[in-house]
Amino acid sequence: MKDKAHVVIVGGGVIGTGVAYNLAKMGMTDVVLVEQKRHSYGSTGRCGGGIRQQWSTEENIRLAKASVEQFERMNEELGVDIGYIQGGYLIPAFTEDEVRDYRKNMALQNSLGVPTRWLSNEEIKELVPMLNTEKMMGATFCPTDGHANPFAVTEGYARRAKEMGVEINLFTTVTGIDVVDGEVKRVHTDRGDIETEFVVNAAGPYSPLIGRMAGIEMPNKPYRHEILATERFRHFLDTMIISFHHGLYFSQTTRGEIVGGIGNPDEKPGYNLSSSLDFAVRMARALIEFMPQFKNVNMVRQWAGFYDVTPDAKPILGEVDEVRGFIQANGYSGHGFMLAPIVAQLMAELIVDGKTSMPIESMNMRRFKDMDMVQEANVVG
């Protein structure tokens, strides 16, 4: 392992490997990535893989739209099959309030160039004939939303970054960070120390622990979210279906499995990754309500991951005021995978050029000190 590098990236998920890839692409290859376990272990590999531009705040819409443009050409760029299905996201409304809010969000999304449109229940049936629309009051649908395989994207980023000269150390644990005169100096790991000028905190739900090593208190907290997969069957569903009303999302992967989850409003923050029967029961009930035919489908596997949740459900991006060289790239609040391509690019720009091609000031951690926040409402589960 190198003992000196311009940049040390903490975290081998889609964000960390994405930053490594983008740095290398910009010519910065004096980079070491450290990951406590294996690629995608922490959050990326546990997520539902959804890619959505239907948000309620301008920042998230802009970031998601820029990411979609990258997902669309990723197979070619990374030389992997990322299992991308651009079949849209369908978000049904179940109350008058939801109809009003979703129409308002749609107008904002349209004004930023996202082609979301309103569907009547009849149009929903045309799009997804098996869906039970009985209690629905229409839906928004954005045809350029979709989903992809998070493992494949991360592996693609990691492989290309390595080919271009980035050093990747798996099964390596960060044990400390030296800050001298308000500046990042050194990262300690269980396999040696690395002298550095930049630390990228891409540790997802574990990022507050990394922050603390540099004396930085962070406001994000890990919340368990459970998810399941069914047996595989013939492809019939292109569209990702989510309901803020139920806290539910599901889609069919290119492998043919239905993968989906449902939130638990009583979940407390903490590092709990256990699977519960309660989740399986609630998820089965919701899936069957949405598509009665699901009652004959076998569930084969359930697991859990974390939403890395900030007080306004928007990510924490950019350099920390108090510690020069300490770059935050975390706090995605359940939508890190879909924002990864553009965030990774912006973080690389920040390190190489000292500025970014899209504004990220409003996502700096200092907003929590001033309590100068605009809440993102469209978080599922």
Partner 1 sequence: MSDEDVIICRCEDVTRADVLKAIRDGYTDLESLRHHLNIGRGPCQGKTCIPLVTRILRQETCASMDEIGLPTARPPMRPIPLGVLNVKEGDE
Candidate residues 103, 117, 125, 232; the one interacting with partner 1 per rule CB under 8 A: 232
Total interface residues for partner 1 by CB under 8 A: 31
Cβ atoms of 330 and 200 within 8 Å: the answer is no
Nearest to 32 by CA among 169, 155, 163: 169
Note whether 231 binds partner 1 by CB under 8 A.
yes
Cβ atoms of 343 and 194 within 8 Å: the answer is no
Q: CB of 172: closest distance to partner 1 in angstroms?
A: 14
C-alpha span between 304 and 164 (Å, rounded): 34
Q: How far is CA 59 from the centre of its chain?
A: 15
C-alpha span between 239 and 243 (Å, rounded): 13
Note whether 298 binds partner 1 by CB under 8 A.
yes
Q: CB of 57: closest distance to partner 1 in angstroms?
A: 33
Note whether 294 binds partner 1 by CB under 8 A.
yes
Candidate residues 100, 135, 301, 366; the one interacting with partner 1 per rule CB under 8 A: 301
Using CB under 8 A as the criterion, what x/- string covers residues 33-62 for binding partner 1? -----xxxx---x-----------------
Give the list of residues 6+ apart from residue 25 with CB closer than 8 angstroms, or none.
Answer: 164, 348
Candidate residues 299, 322, 324, 352; the one interacting with partner 1 per rule CB under 8 A: 299
| Structure tokens, 237 | 């569903």
Q: Which is nearer to partner 1, 12 or 331 (CB)?
A: 12
Q: CB of 93: closest distance to partner 1 in angstroms?
A: 23
Q: CB of 76: closest distance to partner 1 in angstroms?
A: 21
Candidate residues 234, 268, 295, 355; the one interacting with partner 1 per rule CB under 8 A: 295
Q: Which stretch binds partner 1 (CB under 8 A): 60-68, 205-213, 282-290, 368-376?
A: 282-290
Note whether 288 binds partner 1 by CB under 8 A.
yes
- Quick one: 209 exposed, middle or buried, by C-beta within 10 A (0-12, 13-18, 19+)? middle
Give the list of residues 6+ apart from residue 339 with CB closer than 8 angstroms, or none.
Answer: 60, 63, 64, 67, 315, 332
Q: What is the phi-psi region of residue 181: left when phi exceeds 0, alpha when psi lies from -120 to 50, beta otherwise?
A: left
C-alpha span between 132 and 123 (Å, rounded): 13
Instruction: List the interface residues with partner 1, window 137-176 (CB under 8 A).
Output: 151, 155
Q: Which stretch binds partner 1 (CB under 8 A): 54-62, 86-94, 286-294, 339-347?
A: 286-294
Interaction site with partner 1 (CB under 8 A): 38-41, 45, 151, 155, 229-232, 255, 275, 277, 280-281, 283-285, 287-288, 294-303
